[in-house]
Amino acid sequence: MAKEDCFIGAIDQGTSSSRFIIYDDSAKPIGSHQVEFTQFYPQAGWVEHDPMEILESVKVCVAKAVDKATADGFNVDKNLKAIGLTNQRETTLVWSKSTGAPLYNAIVWMDARTTSICSRLEKQLSGGKGHFVESCGLPISSYFSAVKLLWLMENVEAVKEAIDKKDALFGTIDTWLIWQLTGGLKGGLHVTDVSNASRTMLMNLKTLDWDASTLEELGIPADILPKIVSNAEVIGNVAAGWPFTGVPIAGCLGDQHAAMLGQACSRGEAKSTYGTGAFILMNTGDEIVKSTHGLLTTVAFKLGKEAKTTYALEGSVAIAGAAVQWLRDSVGMISSSKEIEELASQVESAKGVYFVPAFNGLFAPYWREDARGVCIGITRFTTKAHIARAVLECIAFQVKDVLDSMHKDAGNVESNEFLLRVDGGATINNLLMQIQADLTGNAVIRPSDIETTARGAAFAAGLAVGVFKEDYIFDSKDKMKDAVVFHPIMTKEVRAKKVDSWGKAVVRSYDLADLTL
């Protein structure tokens, strides 16, 4: 079969936008469309999405991407073999089984409203913050889906009633979209995959099933939870009313796991995805590595029902590209995100200015929900160019902190400390990538196709239906031949001084939050 006659579609549902990308069987994109959707901020620290708007954005993306590919001469309608899906993780919603309607907006992964619930659990449970780490690899944190679900159960009357009536379905965004894609009220499948499930705080890392003791301790009924499947298997078929009716949905991964697969990260290799946040994962193979340096232990991927489970260490940075968006939307210092590179390039350094973007606390490796954003080191000499550069540096500093912790935790996992694979929208910023190389002291490799999240979803779906082979996916590093490599040019002395000052700035962001949220 000719290459142009075999296609895989990838739904990439992110924090600020949805997109659909169509790939040929060489994993080359031949059509795509992207739609942004509304971010809701009802109160300080709260972030919500409208699940129906997300659903509509996906529908538009699919239709428009098909139109573009068709206009370019590709017969996608007849030759799409499977669809893969990747999504923003931890974002939580509950909907009605009988009406299909969301019972509340989706609570987004970065939302901090559950701080008081986390504090309560830490006091009530014998293990404190680390009570569930042994089973799920995660600390008690507002980041994860379980505490967001508890908030919905405790504060939304419609959710309470639906659970009592056995009419509630819980899910992350992958679950919501698959349920809709496979029929919704007319037989929609209620499923999630192992990577998304591993981010709920409810899945046992060893059994890859919902942990009964955790559910009991938290008071979460098992009947509202989806079935857990692998990342590469035929889950179900697209229902009538959508393009590609009958086409199998054959791959599903959380966005960071998909990016790891899209970057073909083997054991010991790490990647960092720069989007709204920054997410650094290191493949630890079939070994569950417990972190003692503030990282998370998670599933990397399981590429088939009978495949071995691959695990990872992860460090999640809540605010990366979102700091640039803040400069644009809230401060008005720039009118578009791409302007920050030119503005920050006007100065050779931030001249002692440090910006800590703890808008809703700090994730790995600090785990300080009481932290809030600070900008320090300002003098009369400081200009908006210095602040812009400090904002770019804060992204790179946070990634470095995670990488440092990762290599301490990796232990006997042979790791490549001399390069970092990068992807995501913010990597088009050459200055940011150079700053990242300078602050880590290691090479940074940016592939020619930075949309590795969608490519990972396509790889998983294609693997399940025989379009791709696993050897091909992990040998696909030859596709990095057009990659751009950023080498460090900063001296060790300057790096050490900046890292020390950054650490002091981070500490000064602590204990500034209104913990009544």
Give the CATH class of 264-415+498-517: alpha beta
Confidence at residue 477, expressed as pLDDT on a 0 to 100 scale = 62
- The CA-based dihedral angle spanning residues 176, 45, 132, 225, taken in that order and rounded to the nearest 10 degrees: -20
Which residues does residue 236 pair with via DSSP β-bridges, in sequence order? 249
Q: How far apart are CA 272 and CA 307, in angstroms?
A: 25
Token pair for 417 = 């400390």
Per-residue model confidence (pLDDT) at position 384: 95
- In sequence order, the 6+-apart residues with CB closer than 8 A to the CB of 455 are 10, 21, 23, 27, 29, 258, 262, 449
Looking at residue 26, what is its pLDDT? Answer: 86
State residue 419's pLDDT score.
75
* Mean pLDDT per 10-residue interval, the chain, length 517 residues: 71 94 90 93 93 96 92 86 95 96 96 92 91 92 94 97 97 97 95 97 96 96 97 95 91 95 89 90 90 90 95 92 93 91 95 94 88 95 96 97 89 64 91 96 88 93 93 73 89 96 97 67
Cβ burial, residue 119 (10 Å; 0-12/13-18/19+): middle
Q: Of 429, 407, 399, 361, give the one whose Cα is nearest residue 502.
A: 399
pLDDT at 303: 96
What pLDDT is recorded for position 78?
Answer: 84
The CATH class, in words, for 3-255 is alpha beta
Q: What is the pLDDT of residue 516?
A: 45
What is residue 153's predicted lDDT score, i.e. its pLDDT? 97
Q: What distance in Å separates the CA atoms of residue 495 and residue 442, rounded to the nearest whole number?
A: 12
Whole-number Å distance between alpha carbons of 180 and 56? 11
**Do 315 and 270 touch, CB atoms closer than 8 A?**
no
Q: What angle do CA 237, 11, 152 make, to 5 degrees?
A: 90
What angle separates helix 492-507 from helix 430-440, to the nearest 10 degrees?
100
107, amino acid identity: I
Q: Mention every residue, 6+ apart, whose C-beta is less than 8 A from residue 182.
A: 188, 189, 235, 236, 237, 238, 239, 249
| Tokens standing for residue 382 | 């400081």
Calpha distance 207→482 (Å, rounded): 40
Whether 264-415+498-517 and 3-255 are alike in CATH topology: the answer is yes
Phi, psi for residue 291 in degrees, rounded to 5: -85, 140
Q: Name the packing angle between helices 51-71 and 173-181 (round to 10°).
A: 60
Taking a C-beta distance cutoff of 8 angstroms, is the pair 137, 147 a contact?
no
Peptide bond into 365 cis (omega under 30): yes
Residue 420, helix vs strand vs coil: strand
pLDDT at 517: 42
Partners of residue 444 on adjacent β-strands: 420, 486
User: Where do the domains of the chain lie?
Assistant: 3-255, 264-415+498-517
Q: pLDDT value at position 53?
A: 97
